[in-house]
A and B are shown apart, each in its own frame.
Chain A
């Protein structure tokens, strides 16, 4: 056969029992498959994102519905959704320069000027890099704060978990936790998305009297700080513990919550 300059023609010309062909064909097929999969993923991403966004909003609404008396309060105040404000995480101050409507936390977490790396020791939730600003959702009536909702995220056993944590006005009691996005093991870790499990959360305390963050997911939970984990999903539970510890701590919403406590709404 004539020499050909294209390498894969030479590959096809090899005998099928040649080990080089076995390796070559595997690599070639894997490469083509990878190309196809990544192209499809990139093309389909915007379409999927629309659904994910809608789902997130629906979960937030559903969470508001589970909170006793909240809807009534909102109807009374003539509002149908919470007020969104953008917080500078490090100072804990609101940042009025950023328009909440156009702020995209996912984009911000990627931009070099709008995000920062987390040092390995201070990254229990496995996020690597977070945005410097984050949205918070507030419900205020006649100058009194009724609810604060914080978006939190962290690595579970095999996927990024995103959730909304709603706090009572004392800022130390969980009003609700809603998982809005996760891809944990179906039937095991993925049960964190079930209402039955999320219903365990309301009423749990976050910090002890010394201000240490105590809330955690554990097997055989006892006391005001512990939430019962799902059997077989220990690492998913640990992921949620780390996620809350991180976001309620100094690197996350800690400064904002401190400021809220000191100076009020």
Chain B
């Protein structure tokens, strides 16, 4: 049995939705060119996933199996529209920079995944913690990737130049870091590092070559 605090902490590293389940990659690539966009996106997704999981869990016993996806999507998209509206009202600049990606939270497998796999079968409190944990796990990866990409690519953190902070005159920025492939490289390295540290996450091969079986 998993205790309630574990519901919140396990998705941070051990069951991280991005690095273990490889979900939500699209937005992780698109919004991590700067730390500020990564933080805003993290906040938006964490709020949406927590609220949607709680709401869906509250009515889970009355959701007919045949229409459960429609009902989940309706709840999630309503929350996303409200979130998008809030950003446009109070963080207009940021909402312009995030363009469609807040809207695309609707199709983020992470949100649907937690609703379908967890909130449909667990009480609201537990679902809320699980979703919050997953949102924070997603945020953690976005923040790491965003920090590296902005730091190395633009030489700033949250728009503040890094070089003076490090006592340097300046350094050559890596333009590649601002492009999409860099996010893949960083995610790949992160997954490698986490799996080296927690070997339990390494997937067993689905099949082995027959020669190896003979050798064994």
Q: State how many angstroms separate the Cβ of A185 from the closest Cβ of chain B.
A: 9
Chain B contact residues: over half helix, strand or loop, or mixed?
A: helix
Q: Are A12 and B71 in contact (CB under 8 A)?
A: no
* Closest-CB distance, B141 to chain A (whole angstroms): 24
Q: Which residues of B contact A48 (CB under 8 A)?
A: 85, 88-89, 92
Taken residue by residue from 34 to 76, chain B's Cβ proximity to chain A (1 for < 8 Å, 0 otherwise) reads as 0000000000000000000000000101111111001100110
Q: What residue in chain A is nearest B101 (Cβ atoms)?
A: A186
Q: Does A37 make an interface contact (CB < 8 A)? A: yes
Whether A37 and B78, one on each chain, are in contact in the complex, defined by CB atoms closer than 8 angstroms, is yes
Contacts of A33 in B (CB 8 A): 74-75, 77-78
Given the complex, which residues of B lie within 8 Å of A2, measured CB to CB?
Answer: none
Give bound CA distance, A51 to B91, whole Å: 9
The count of residues in chain B whose C-beta lies closer than 8 Å to any C-beta of chain A is 24
B92 touches A51 (CB 8 A): yes
Q: Does B82 contact A (CB under 8 A)?
A: yes
Among A16, A30, A186, the residue within 8 A (CB) of B74 is A30
Contact yes or no, B82 A36, CB < 8 A: yes
Chain A 1-35 against B: per-residue CB contact (8 Å), 1 yes, 0 no?
00000000000100011100110011001100110
Q: Please name all residues of chain B whose beta carbon is closer than 8 Å to the beta carbon of A55 when the two chains form the complex.
A: 92
A29 to B67, CA, bound (A): 11
Known A-B contacts A29-B71, A33-B74; the reply to A16 vs B65 at CB < 8 A is: yes
Chain A residues with CB under 8 Å of B89's CB are 44, 47-48, 51
Q: Among the listed B62, B81, B90, which residue makes an inter-chain contact with A12, where contact means beta carbons less than 8 Å apart? A: B62
Query: Please, what's the 1-or-0 string for B85-104, where 1 marks a CB less than 8 Å from any CB in chain A?
Result: 11011101000000110000
Chain B minimum-CB-distance residue to A46: B89
Q: Are A186 and B82 in contact (CB under 8 A)?
A: no
Contacts of B81 in A (CB 8 A): 37, 40-41
**Which single member of B71, B85, B100 contacts A25 (CB below 8 Å)?**
B71
Indicate if the CB atoms of B92 and A44 lie closer than 8 Å. no
- Return chain B residues, CB-CB under 8 Å to A12: 62
Closest to A16 in B: B64
Question: In the complex the two chains form, what is the Cα distance from A251 to B75 in whole Å?
Answer: 44
Could you list 19 examples of A-B contacts with CB < 8 Å? A16-B61, A16-B62, A16-B64, A17-B66, A18-B64, A22-B64, A26-B67, A26-B70, A26-B71, A29-B59, A29-B75, A33-B77, A37-B78, A41-B85, A44-B85, A44-B86, A48-B85, A51-B92, A55-B92
The 5 closest A-B pairs by CB, nearest first: A47-B89, A33-B78, A51-B92, A22-B64, A44-B89
A residues sitting closer than 8 Å to B (CB atoms) are 12, 16-18, 21-22, 25-26, 29-30, 33-34, 36-37, 40-41, 44, 47-48, 51, 55, 186
